[in-house]
Amino acid sequence: MTQPVDAEARRAVRPVICYPNDTLPRPDLALYRAARAGTRKVSEVIVPPRDAAGFRVGAGQFFRISSIEGPQVGDLNLWNANNLSERFYSGKSRALHGTHLTVGERMWTSFPYLRPMATITADSLEWYGIDEFGGSVHDVIGTRCDPYTGNLLAGTQYHHCCHSNLIRALADETGLSLAEAEGHVHDVLNVFMCTGFTRDTGQYFMKASPVRPGDYLEFFAEIDLLGALSACPGGDCSSEHSSDSAACYPMRVEVFAPDPAALAGWQSPPVNGYDRSHGR
């Protein structure tokens, strides 16, 4: 195809950030860290390899996701524990913070609520940054491995994809049927997964995660949360996912409660203040 004479000039136009985030409400990390110092563990869940588990976190509590036996990535879903229609909005979190999340950045809820639901307060892989391939950890660009795409691309019928695991975990936690639960499963935070986009084709890639036993990602719950975490069947996602051949390991979710006095004056963020009556 013949390029226009001004092709290079068009390519040279400087980009503009779509959502400048200088005016986003900032989490009080000093308050959260002081509160975390005096916490006690109130629950713990072990997520089996190639499976998922549900957990609950009260507003003002902390939860930590850890690698415990080998390099393993996990797919995280979060909902408002009192209203499943308010759930993690991966796309808007990506638009506000970038393709990968770390300390001080937040998981935001879906419309019409659009408020912080969890703030990352500690990340043992924060040192990784962005590598020479454009890869980084804890992405909000991948959707989750699922049986439908596997069937589309390879004609497979695999039942331990993260999508399937999350359905079963949500159904177990809530009493919903599998069919009812599936409609609530959504795009994930890929915890510990190392991903990016290729420079030449723009394709989503994965590579071996830098996670090792003892690594963790920790959050402050801004609202009452119901969570589900799937230990991805791809293990560290170094070569494949949706597979029974990859080495896979369990993951741990711990919940910690602070002394209420440590959060005196803190309140859950209100739902978004946009007046929908004027926009319909």
Please, is 5 exposed, middle or buried when counting C-beta atoms within 10 Å of its C-beta (0-12, 13-18, 19+)?
exposed
- pTM recorded for the entire structure: 0.96
10-residue block means of pLDDT along the chain (280 residues)? 94 96 94 97 98 98 98 98 98 97 98 98 98 97 95 94 98 98 98 96 96 98 98 94 90 97 95 86
d(CA 116, CA 190): 18
Q: What is the pLDDT of residue 241?
A: 80
The residue ranges of every structural domain in the chain are: 25-259
Across 48-76, b (16+ Cβ under 10 Å) vs e yields: ebbbbbbbbbebbbbbbbbbeeebbbbbb
